[in-house]
């Protein structure tokens, strides 16, 4: 390895360290920090972001990349892939002034605190000005880049490299009528019973049961931990320190189990990345859609399957005998897969979930292109909920304020959730061809072969391949909704007797 490459890795490693340090502060902000610490934390994050930006966009890094592109032209090698990914990131970062990065970090911290208060009080007006500032900065960020086919392309590319707004709209356009048709058929069928899911459950016991499940999945608690936060998330400080957070909702207590499965899916991806990629441009998952495919797979395709509960239900029933008295495995399985339009995205069933995402995509595009005024968001949100799901949120907390992402200025992010659902089904079809007795393994509580398949085919590559290339490499086709439609149709045909 050349001296230039070693120097490049040294600088990139320091940039990574700064980003990871910022992640620690961000984790602490949501898990431990007292409310009064917000302003100072925003400044600390801004300083780290600015230093990282200046270090990464230095002229020295630019010269090294130009020389190393010639030295390592083959992007199939690890070194070539590092240069390719770093060069793309450098080109983007070079366009964004460090002062802007600091300004955005401060605005995001203030907006997060405003969002927390607004959500607690269910009052959008408390959050409105902070969101207006975030959107103003997002538009300013877009202005740093060459004109795209759609301004939203610039934002989407940050989360899903290479994808265009038109591609996502086409994928969603193909999927929407099929999901609407399925939801309609389900609405005309006899509804399943799920009252047992909304009884009073002991929080500590639910929490412990969730940790038992994800330990069996293979989430390594010697390299991770689970804490409480306002919104569940996963964060990575290193391949050996990958943390998740969760929450307990008294009205939907077993949602904690599925959140644990979801976040552990993200975390196992990060724990499975090639350790040699640590502190290089290849660390971390390749995109949010691929990341989400992992979390949704463990939460839904595994965690809401009948074989899974054939293994875990007897123990769950023993843990909560009064709540599940008289409830059969078949009734429980149908109950956790009940389809019913609901207000909260993270608790939405699989058949309606993507409608929540399509709604948010429309709103984000409107905010970015000026078609929607921020002050009108609560009203437009409620209109879209009526149009897409036939329900109207009773208040802002269960409507426009439910998600954390806009408080961080993370606009361009939401479509990756639905894309993740789609990719999870594509991968699942491939997995079932390769692991013939997968259902039987899950029925026995054995997840190691599934986890190792994912580690070998997806996780270990980190950021080496772009998302569409990785999906093509593993499944034989680019992101396509057909497998997801097949999955939903079969599953809900069985649950509802369609």
Active site residue 263: yes
Cβ-count burial of 311 within 10 angstroms (0-12 exposed, 13-18 middle, 19+ buried)? middle
3-state SS of the chain is CCHHHHHHHHHHHHHHHHHHHHHHHHHHHHHCCCHHHHHHHHHHHHHHHHHHHHHHCCHHHHHHHHHHHHHCCCCCCHHHHHHHHHHHHHHHHHCCCHHHHHHHHHHHHHHHHHHHHHHHHCCCHHHHHHHHHHHHHHHHHHHCCCCCCCCHHHHHHHHCCCCCHHHHHHHHHHHHHHHHHHHHHHHCCCCCCCHHHHCCCCHHHHHHHHHHHHHHHCCCHHHCCEEECCCCCEEEEECCEEEEEECCCCCCCCHHHHHHHHHHHHHHHHHCCCHHHCCCCCCCCCCHHHHHHHHHHHHHHHCCCHHHHHHHHHHHHHHCCCCCCCCCHHHHHHHHCCCCCCCCHHHCCHHHHHHHHHHHHHHHHHHHHCCCCHHHHHHHHHHHHHHHHCCCCCCCCCCCCCCCHHHHCCCCCCHHHHHHHHHHHHHHHHHHHHCCCHHHHHHCCCCHHHHHHHHHHCHHHCCCCCHHHHHHHHHCCCCCCHHHHHHHHHHHHHHHCC
- Token pair listed for 4: 């230039």
Q: Under 8 Å CB-to-CB from 307, ≥6 apart: which residues?
A: 439, 440, 442, 443
Q: Under 8 Å CB-to-CB from 443, ≥6 apart: which residues?
A: 307, 308, 310, 311
Of the candidates 263, 283, 292, 364, the residue annotated as catalytic is 263
Catalytic residues: 263
């Amino acid at each position: 390895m050349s001296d230039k490459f070693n120097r490049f890795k040294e600088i990139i490693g320091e940039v990574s360290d700064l980003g990871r340090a910022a992640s620690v502060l961000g984790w602490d902000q949501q898990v431990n920090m007292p409310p009064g610490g917000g302003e100072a934390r925003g400044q600390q994050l801004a300083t780290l972001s600015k230093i990282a930006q200046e270090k990464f966009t230095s002229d020295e890094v630019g010269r090294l990349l130009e020389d190393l592109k010639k030295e390592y032209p083959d992007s199939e090698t690890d070194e070539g892939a590092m240069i390719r990914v770093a060069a793309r990131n450098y080109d983007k970062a070079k366009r964004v002034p460090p002062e802007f990065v600091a300004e955005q970090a401060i605005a995001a911290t203030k907006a997060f605190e405003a969002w927390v208060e607004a959500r607690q009080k269910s009052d959008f007006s408390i959050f409105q000005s902070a969101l207006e500032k975030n959107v103003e900065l997002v538009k300013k960020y877009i202005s740093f880049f060459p004109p795209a086919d759609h301004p939203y392309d610039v934002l989407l590319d940050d989360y899903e490299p290479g994808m265009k707004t038109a591609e996502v709209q086409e994928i969603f356009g193909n999927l929407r009528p099929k999901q609407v048709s399925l939801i309609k058929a389900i609405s005309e069928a006899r509804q399943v019973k799920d009252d047992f899911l909304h009884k009073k459950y002991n929080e500590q016991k639910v929490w412990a049961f969730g940790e038992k499940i994800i330990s069996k999945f293979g989430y390594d608690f010697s390299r991770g931990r689970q804490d409480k936060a306002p919104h569940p998330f996963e964060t990575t400080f290193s391949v050996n320190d990958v943390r998740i957070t969760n929450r307990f909702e008294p009205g939907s207590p077993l949602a904690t189990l599925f959140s644990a499965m979801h976040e552990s899916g993200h975390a196992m991806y990060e724990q499975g990345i090639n350790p040699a990629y640590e502190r290089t441009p290849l660390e971390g998952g390749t995109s949010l859609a691929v990341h989400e495919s992992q979390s949704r797979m463990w939460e839904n395709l595994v965690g809401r399957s009948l074989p899974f509960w054939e293994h875990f239900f007897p123990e769950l029933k023993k843990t909560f005998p009064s709540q599940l008295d008289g409830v059969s495995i078949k009734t429980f399985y149908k109950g956790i897969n009940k389809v019913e339009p609901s207000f909260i995205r993270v608790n939405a069933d699989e058949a309606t979930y993507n409608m929540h995402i399509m709604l948010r995509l429309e709103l984000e595009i409107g905010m970015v292109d000026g078609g929607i005024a921020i002050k009108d968001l609560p009203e437009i949100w409620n209109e879209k909920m009526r149009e897409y799901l036939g329900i109207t949120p009773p208040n802002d907390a269960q409507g426009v304020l439910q998600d954390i992402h806009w408080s961080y200025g993370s606009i361009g992010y939401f479509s990756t959730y639905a894309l993740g659902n789609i990719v999870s089904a594509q991968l699942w079809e491939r997995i079932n061809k390769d692991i013939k007795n997968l259902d039987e393994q899950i029925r026995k509580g054995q997840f190691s072969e599934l986890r190792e398949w994912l580690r070998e085919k997806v996780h270990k590559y980190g950021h080496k391949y772009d998302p569409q290339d990785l999906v093509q490499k593993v499944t034989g086709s680019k992101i396509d909704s057909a497998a997801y439609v097949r999955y939903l149709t079969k599953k809900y045909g069985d649950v509802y007797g369609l």
